[in-house]
Amino acid sequence: MTQAGPSVGPLAQAGPSVGPLAPAGPSVGPVTPAGPSVGAGTPAFPRPVAVTGAAVVLTWGVRLLDRRDALPGGGRRWVRVNHRGDEVTLVEGVALAIGTAAPLALVEPASAAAVLLAAGGGAVDDLAGDTGVKGLRGHLGALRRGRVTTGALKVAVLVTAGALAAFEADRCRGRGASTLAAAGVVAGAANLANLLDLRPGRTLKVGLLVGLPLARTQPAAAACSGAALAALPDDLGSRSMLGDTGANAVGAALGVAAVRELSPRARWTCLAALAGLTLLSERVSFSRVIDATPVLRQLDRWGRR
């Protein structure tokens, strides 16, 4: 009977026999990499190429309607004289805004709304703006005297667009002080893009330099890059201009992409840089600085007619 004890020994080895089942757990492991993509704040969205391609097609489509004189309200009201004295159309800006916002609305509706708001504020300035008041200082000065200019109205619209985009961007990560910085980045980027739009292709080139690296993970950057690529040839050829409508749309879209990509601390750094450049523009001509810097001058003039 005492030998019955050892006979239990083989049963004790039954425990280790369960061991081979343990590797079944790691088989779940390959699924986990999906988690970090959400944690990083990168939403699942159609392939960047699809978003970019849709933006290209829509931008071209609006331009085609203009060439066929099929735009609601007609295209003549968007015609202006550029820095060389040539007549050009601002419909490019309308086309870019629609080309950016429409595909973006399918994946980030609030971001698309922010882009359209910024573009709408620019459109008011394009169609009914007071050309006698220039710069942020001029518009704020007029406001202090009790006069509301279209530029001041545009500032309010850009701030609203920034707040909308920022509050939605932080809906999951939690809103806080950096949300205010995010709103400022979107509004500031929209305004800075407009300040740069003094020569053919300048804002679009800057937009592509900023947008293309972000396009892989940020729908707003992918859509904006596609629309910018579609608009660039005519802009460089001085056949059309972004106007405030298009420049604000470019800046707002890139601002949205940036705040969704940046950490809270980086948002504040970005906001400080945008504020500094905006204040600098009141005293320094960006065009003069670019023309005096060989590398910037060459890049700025590349592709122009």
Q: Where are the domains of the chain?
A: 45-301
Q: Pick from 225, 226, 219, 218: which is nearest to 261 by CA?
A: 218
Distances (CA, A) of 79 to 197, 246, 287, 300: 16, 14, 23, 24
Please compute the mean of the pLDDT values over residues 284-304 and round it to a whole number: 93
Q: Report the C-alpha gap between 222 and 125 in whole angstroms.
A: 27
- Name the pLDDT band for 45 (thresholds 50, 70, 90): low
Return the residue matching tokens 């703006």. 129
pLDDT at 19 over 70: no
Task: List residues bridging with 209 in a β-sheet.
Answer: none
pLDDT at 8 over 60: no
49, 52, 55, 56: CA torsion to nearest 10: -90
CA neighbours closer than 13 Å in the CB half-sphere of residue 66 = 22
pLDDT at 37: 40
pLDDT at 38 over 70: no
DSSP 3-state of 219: helix
What is the enclosing helix (H) or strand (E) of 80?
strand 79-81
- Name the pLDDT band for 253 (thresholds 50, 70, 90): very high
pLDDT at 72: 82
Q: Spell out the alpha helix ranges (H) of 108-263.
A: 109-128, 135-144, 150-169, 177-196, 202-214, 219-236, 243-261
